């Protein structure tokens, strides 16, 4: 017997698949691109949701991981294209799965470094320090000349995946869609696991967790690193979607947008990020078509959601969350 | 490198620090009293600069513009507090971040709606034009000295306000125990509005002062906002003293880094590359300093009573 | 977008006469209409639409969208314009980083891109493309001109630019022609608003001239602070540092500043006078260089569309390359890499009837191309 939330989730997942299939059949490939964007942003936000929704760690610097994933894709592809070795004589590549692994590992390592320092703090300090670390990475990317700096880095041909024509919008969408489902599945597994329980318990009552012999710092650090990895993977996909990566992927507006996606959908919810991403991209697209002042109205809508529609879209559709 | 140049750079660092203090003081005050994190503080800075530029263009006087900037920023702050912010005090930081992020979007686009897309003109008043000689044979702009003086006055004024007035007593009470102060019969809602408007006025004042030597344009508050965050995190959130010291530390570190790091790099690599690499390193320097401080003291240099 | 489309159609239907094209033409304009850089995008759009309106042609539609100066958004809009709106030509991007995100993949999909401003070196040399045209300049040009000018009057220059690719191109371009001594070469942070530390170095450097490339708000801040510093060294820069979009905000601090440009409002040719009069009549302000460049981009597209179908890329490209237009800039033709060959002038900021503007002083380069064209194999 499906719960109401699971029913809503199922409808969301099915819609995200059905719309691009229909758009492709009707010869409207742009809507496939839009759906791909939704899937990737949802994956990035699902990553953040691990830290933010489960662990209560309000990271205002996840754009750093998103951008690092993007740069992993861009830099590997550039070296793969030119044939120049990357480091230690290792070549670049245009194989997506290699890029994904590199993106996940690098984002995880940077997440470990940032998390190790940031998690010594909490509350507002944590928000600020993650923001500041992301700014540091941002300024580094802007001023480091080797990979385009502020101008960013173009990927001339989308990277390859065995047996798939990645340049076709629908094929690339399907890759992203499958990865999103895997990401959401992973989130569900973690949430139900002992580790996930400990992470959530550390959010709710740090002292109690410590007294039963779990060290909240290590639990949180692990959660933060996994979260960074998933967001990094989304960044690699995003770079391939745009065939371009630039420091704006690392900007603090991007960090803000990722948080916005989660809140719009419903904090800590399994499908919250997907609902939020779909809503956000739809707003951006529809408002952008209506008025030059769309950012004003976007702000207004966000404000109304935060003030009056707590629980986000899923809160409205599926009722209150099961867990606090 | 001469002593005169080093002295001039030190003054520059001091001036940047003072300006950051004006921003950081409001942020940290609002956090200390209400426990609220306000991303839209940079928007109030922008409101102050625009109000000053528009009024100065209309009346021909920078000074009237400066008064207008205080009024406009305080009014904008009070309105925002009444309509939005007071619904956020009992929410978690996440909701506060998001709501004030939304406010930034609205403020930026709203200002563009009102004033158009091109930067506004705002000049230094005739009284403060030009430069004065410094010991060592160099010169320094009068206006920058005036900013340092204004910042010092504001810091002193805040000290008097908080340590010697009824309002200050309530602010201190609010910082140490939020429930208690309500029980004492203080009208806490009015107090919060006043504190928020005060913080906003400080930001607006900073915006107007700085607007005269920078570009008055949409989005001008965001880089300053992030620096101000670094300042209060280093200083200890909620502590005015911490904000002052943090601001001076960040101002001097940033200025000296931009000045010295390229020279340091030039010892190892050709000048053009030294400029680029040194510049890149300088732009990250204050964040590195912040990370080091927080690694040693996770609650900043001067932790407030709670937070 | 719908509103803008309607406005464009309205503007076209008001005009009475018009040439028919071989085929209807759809142009996608992506430019910055919101946020801090919106001023440049608005001038781009207005200059472009002025030429379209003047042509009175009914077979042309322009779809305009705001990129908010975000590369990702620009890419998304480009995808939509190509896949959904099925435009033939893209244009309008102001910033090099956004152009690098859009143009290579647009031409890879067989669409023309006519740049109204951004001209990174990366697209001018070995990676030039026969579908990519630049109606403005090559990024280095105006800096090269200032380097050449500095040779004539200065012996020790202090040069400064933001630490990003266009900034590096700027100083590289300057040094390509400047043969004197360098007092210092300084890179500042992108978006930096306080230049006290750099001005102090200028004072101490013993330079006899200062070259700065600081576009937009950065330049406004620098000039205002420099004027207060008591440093008496002449400041010069490329045209955009003292263009009409920033001059009012800098104020009198800009007076006397020397710059390089391919156009100034006092140009004494028929096309320039007509453009200036039309622009002021239509929008009630002085046009900036961005408006001129966009105006010429539209003129180029119109000139080619009158003779060839855009569906025939080779023929249309060949017509574009002829550059059969009356540019307000005077001489204008395309180099082999489809970037302009044009004259570049020295200008000086003056006050005329209470309004700050640029006055032409002398010609620096005649028929100037760029350094990358030799690597282009089209």
Q: Measured between beta carbons, which residues in chain B are less than 8 angstroms from residue C216?
A: 119, 215
Confidence of residue B70 (pLDDT cuts 50, 70, 90): very high
Chain B partners within 8 Å of A255 (Cβ): none
Residues sharing a CB contact under 8 Å with residue B90, sequence separation 6 or more, in sequence order: none
Number of H helices, E strands in chain C: 12, 13
Report the pLDDT value the prediction gives residue B185, as an integer from 0 to 100: 66
Average pLDDT over residues B63-76: 96
* CA distances from residue C326 to A197, C51, C273, C333 in whole angstroms, order as listed: 72, 11, 12, 11
Q: State the DSSP code for C26.
A: E
Q: Mean pLDDT across the stretch B33-59? A: 92
A259 inside 8 A of chain B by CB: yes
Rounded CA Rg of chain A: 19
Determine the residue of chain A that is closest to B286 in CA distance: A136
Q: Which helix (H) or strand (E) holds C156?
A: strand C156-162
Domain C2-137+267-334 fold: Rossmann fold (3.40.50)
Read off the pLDDT of each residue in B288-293 and give the average, rounded to a whole number.
87
Angle of helix B221-235 versus helix B188-211 axis, rounded to 10: 120
Which residue of A49, A64, A129, A305 to mutate against B (max B Cβ within 10 Å)? Answer: A129
Q: What is the mean pLDDT of residues B183-190?
A: 74
CB B144, CB B13: distance < 8 Å: no
Quote the domain boundaries for residue B67.
13-218
pLDDT band at B132 (very low <50, low <70, confident <90, very high): confident
pLDDT at A320 over 70: no
Decide if C96 touches A, using CB distance below 8 A: yes
Q: What integer is the mean pLDDT of C177-198? A: 88
H helices present in A243-293, as ranges: 252-265, 272-290
Quickly list H helices, chain C: 2-14, 38-55, 71-83, 96-108, 141-153, 165-177, 196-205, 217-228, 247-250, 270-283, 289-305, 313-322
Q: Report how many domains make up chain B.
A: 1
CA A158 to CA A138: how far, in whole Å?
A: 24
Asked if the model's pLDDT at residue C253 lies above 80, the reply is yes
Q: How many residues does chain C have?
A: 378
Question: At C145, phi and psi to the nearest 5?
Answer: -60, -40
Q: What are phi and psi of C118, to 5 degrees?
A: -60, 135
Q: How far, CA to CA in Å, does C48 sit from each of A257, B295, C27, C57, C277? A: 33, 54, 11, 14, 15
Q: Which chains share 3+ C-beta pairs under 8 angstroms with B?
A: A, C
Residue B137: exposed, middle, or buried by beta-carbon count in 10 A (0-12, 13-18, 19+)? Answer: exposed
Q: Determine the residue of chain C that is closest to B106 in CA distance.
A: C35
How confident is the model over B93-128, as pLDDT tens digits?
Answer: 888 988 999 999 999 989 988 887 778 888 888 888
For the segment C62-112, what is each residue's pLDDT rounded down to a tens digit? 999 988 888 888 988 998 899 888 999 999 999 888 998 899 889 988 999
Inform me whether the C-beta atom of residue B103 falls under 8 Å from chain A C-beta atoms: yes
Which pLDDT band, with edges at 50, 70 and 90, does A72 fall under?
very high
CA atoms of A199 and A202, how far apart (whole Å):
5
Calculate ∠ Cα C237-C239-C240, nearest 5°.
100
Cα–Cα distance for residue pair A239/A72, rounded to 1 Å: 9
Rounded Cα gap, residues C311 and C259, in angstroms: 41
pLDDT band at A66 (very low <50, low <70, confident <90, very high): very high
* pLDDT tens per residue across span A267-279: 778 899 999 999 9
Q: How far is B242 from chain C (nearest CA, A)?
A: 23
Q: Determine the 3-state secondary structure of A156 from DSSP.
A: coil
How far is A48 from chain B, CA to nearest CA, in Å?
Answer: 13
pLDDT on residue C1:
42
Chains that touch A (3 or more CB pairs under 8 A): B, C
pLDDT greater at residue C17 or residue B255: B255
Residue B205 domain-assigned? yes
Identify the band that residue B305 occupies on the pLDDT scale cut at 50, 70 and 90. low
Residue C3, pLDDT above cutoff 50: no
Q: What is the mean pLDDT of residues B160-166?
A: 84
Distance (Å) from the alpha carbon of C315 to chain B's nearest alpha carbon: 39
Q: How many CA atoms lie within 13 A of A203 on its CB side?
A: 20
Question: Quick check: A124 and B237 CB within 8 A?
Answer: yes
Residue whose token pair is 């318990």: A201
The mean pLDDT value for A178-207 works out to 90
Which element (helix H / strand E) includes C238? strand C235-238
B291 vs C291, higher pLDDT:
C291
Please state, in angstroms and as integers, the Cα–Cα distance from residue C118 to each residue in A152, A244, C102, C190, C298, following that order: 14, 17, 12, 17, 16
Q: How far apart are CA B113 and CA C69, in angstroms?
A: 17
Q: What is the pLDDT of residue A237?
A: 96
State the pLDDT at residue A124: 83
pLDDT given at position B304? 67
For range A292-311, the mean pLDDT: 84
Identify the closest residue of chain A to B109 by CA–CA distance. Answer: A296
Q: How confident is the model at residue C22 (pLDDT cuts 50, 70, 90)?
A: low
Q: What is the mean pLDDT of residues A122-145?
A: 86
pTM across the whole model: 0.84
Alpha-carbon distance B225 to B28, whole Å?
Answer: 12
Partner A contacted by B87 (CB < 8 A): yes
Structure token digits, residue C180: 């004197």
Residue of chain C with shortest Cα separation from B113: C34
Q: What is the ipTM score, two decimals? A: 0.84
CATH class of the domain whose range is C141-261+344-375: alpha beta
Nearest to A140 among B233, B284, B290 (CB): B284
User: Rounded to an integer, what distance in angstroms lies between the CA atom of residue A180 and that of residue A41?
Assistant: 9
Please give the residue that has the higher pLDDT: either A43 or C14: A43
Tell me the average pLDDT of chain B: 87
Tally helices (H) and strands (E) across chain B: 11, 2
Q: Where do the structural domains in chain C lie, given as residue ranges?
A: 2-137+267-334, 141-261+344-375
- Share above pLDDT 70 across residues of chain B, in percent, rounded to a whole number: 94
Interface test with A, best of C42, C164, C171, C216 (most A CBs within 10 A): C164
pLDDT at C36: 65
pLDDT of residue C15: 40
């Amino acid at each position: 017997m499906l719960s109401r939330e699971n029913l809503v989730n199922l409808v969301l997942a099915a819609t995200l698949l059905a719309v691009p299939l229909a758009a492709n059949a009707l010869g409207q490939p742009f809507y496939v691109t839009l759906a791909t964007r939704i899937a990737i942003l949802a994956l990035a936000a699902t990553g953040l949701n691990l830290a933010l929704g489960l662990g209560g760690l309000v990271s205002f610097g996840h754009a750093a991981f998103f951008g690092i994933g993007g740069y992993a894709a861009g830099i590997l592809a550039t070296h793969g294209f030119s044939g120049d070795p990357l480091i230690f004589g290792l070549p670049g590549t245009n194989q997506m799965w290699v890029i994904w692994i590199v993106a996940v590992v690098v984002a995880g390592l940077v997440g470990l470094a940032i998390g190790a320092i940031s998690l010594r703090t909490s509350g507002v300090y944590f928000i600020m320090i993650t923001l500041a670390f992301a700014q540091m990475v941002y300024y580094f990317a802007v001023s480091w000349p080797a990979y385009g700096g502020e101008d960013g880095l173009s990927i001339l041909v989308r990277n390859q995946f065995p047996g798939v024509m990645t340049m076709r919008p629908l094929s690339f969408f399907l890759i992203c869609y499958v990865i999103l489902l895997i990401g959401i599945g992973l989130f569900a597994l973690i949430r139900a696991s002992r580790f996930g329980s400990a992470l959530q318990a550390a959010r709710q009552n740090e002292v109690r967790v410590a007294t039963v012999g779990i060290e909240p710092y290590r639990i949180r650090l692990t959660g933060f690193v996994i979260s960074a990895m998933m967001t990094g993977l989304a960044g690699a996909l995003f770079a391939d979607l745009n065939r371009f990566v630039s420091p704006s992927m690392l900007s603090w507006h991007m960090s803000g947008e990722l948080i916005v996606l989660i809140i719009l959908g419903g904090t800590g919810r399994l499908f919250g990020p997907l609902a939020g991403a779909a809503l956000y991209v739809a707003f951006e697209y529809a408002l952008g078509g209506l008025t030059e002042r769309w950012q004003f109205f976007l702000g207004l809508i966000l404000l109304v959601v935060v003030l009056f529609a707590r629980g986000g879209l899923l809160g409205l559709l599926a009722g209150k969350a099961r867990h606090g | 490198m001469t002593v005169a140049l080093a002295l001039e750079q030190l003054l520059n660092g001091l001036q940047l620090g003072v300006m950051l203090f004006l921003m950081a003081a409001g942020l940290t005050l609002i956090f200390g009293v209400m426990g609220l994190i306000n991303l839209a503080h940079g928007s109030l800075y922008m409101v102050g600069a625009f109000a000053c530029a528009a009024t100065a263009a209309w009346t021909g006087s920078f000074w009237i513009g400066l008064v207008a900037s205080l009024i406009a920023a305080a009014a904008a702050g009070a309105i925002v507090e009444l309509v939005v912010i007071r619904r956020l005090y009992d929410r978690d930081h996440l909701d506060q971040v998001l709501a004030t992020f939304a406010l930034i979007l609205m403020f930026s686009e709203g200002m563009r709606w009102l004033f158009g897309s091109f930067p506004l003109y705002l000049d230094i008043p005739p009284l403060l034009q030009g430069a004065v000689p410094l010991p060592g044979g160099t010169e320094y702009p009068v206006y920058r000295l005036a900013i340092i003086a204004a910042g010092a006055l504001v810091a002193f004024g805040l000290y008097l306000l908080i340590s010697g007035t009824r309002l200050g007593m309530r602010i201190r009470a609010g910082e140490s125990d939020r429930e208690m102060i309500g029980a004492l019969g203080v009208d806490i809602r009015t107090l919060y509005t006043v504190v928020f408007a005060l913080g906003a006025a400080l930001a607006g004042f900073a915006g107007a002062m700085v607007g005269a030597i920078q570009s008055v344009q949409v989005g001008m508050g965001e880089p300053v906002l992030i620096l101000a965050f670094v300042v209060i995190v280093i200083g200890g959130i909620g502590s005015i003293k911490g904000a002052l010291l943090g601001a001076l530390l960040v101002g001097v570190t940033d200025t000296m880094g931009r000045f010295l790091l390229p020279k340091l790099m030039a010892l190892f690599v050709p000048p053009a590359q030294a400029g680029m690499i040194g510049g890149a390193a300088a732009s990250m320097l204050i964040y590195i300093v912040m990370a080091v401080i927080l690694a040693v003291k996770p609650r900043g240099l001067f932790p407030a009573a709670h937070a | 977008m719908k509103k803008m489309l309607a406005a464009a159609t309205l503007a076209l239907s008001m005009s009475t006469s018009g040439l028919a094209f071989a085929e209807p033409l759809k142009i996608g304009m992506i430019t910055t209409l919101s946020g801090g850089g919106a001023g440049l995008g608005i001038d781009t759009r207005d200059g472009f639409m002025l030429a379209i309106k003047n042509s009175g042609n009914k077979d042309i539609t322009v779809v305009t969208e705001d990129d908010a100066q975000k590369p990702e958004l620009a890419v998304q809009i480009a995808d939509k314009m190509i896949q959904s709106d099925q435009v033939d030509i893209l244009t309008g991007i102001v910033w090099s980083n956004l152009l690098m995100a859009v143009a290579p993949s647009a031409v890879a999909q067989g669409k023309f891109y006519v740049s109204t401003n951004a001209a990174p070196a990366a697209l001018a040399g070995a990676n030039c493309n026969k579908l990519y045209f630049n109606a403005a300049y090559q990024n280095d040009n105006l800096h090269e001109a200032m380097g050449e000018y500095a040779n004539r009057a200065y012996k020790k220059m202090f040069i400064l630019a933001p630490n990003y690719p266009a900034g590096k191109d700027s100083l590289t371009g300057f040094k390509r022609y400047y043969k004197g001594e360098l007092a210092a070469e300084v890179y500042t942070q992108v978006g930096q608003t306080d230049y006290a530390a750099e001005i102090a170095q200028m004072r101490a450097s013993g330079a006899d001239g200062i070259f700065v490339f600081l576009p937009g708000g950065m330049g406004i801040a620098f000039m205002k602070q420099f004027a207060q510093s008591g440093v008496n060294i002449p400041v010069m820069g490329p045209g955009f540092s003292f263009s009409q979009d920033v001059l009012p905000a800098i104020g009198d601090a800009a007076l006397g500043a020397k710059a390089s440009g391919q156009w100034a409002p006092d140009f004494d040719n028929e096309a320039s006078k007509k453009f200036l009069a039309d622009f002021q009549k239509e929008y009630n302000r002085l046009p900036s260089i961005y408006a001129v460049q966009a105006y010429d981009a539209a003129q180029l597209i119109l000139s080619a569309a009158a003779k060839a179908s855009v569906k025939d890329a080779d023929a249309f490209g060949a017509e574009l390359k002829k550059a059969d237009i009356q540019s307000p800039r005077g001489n204008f033709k395309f180099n082999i890499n489809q970037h302009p060959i044009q004259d570049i002038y020295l200008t000086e900021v003056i006050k005329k009837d209470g309004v700050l503007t640029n006055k032409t002083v002398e010609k620096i380069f005649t028929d100037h191309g760029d350094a990358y064209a030799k690597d282009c194999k089209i």
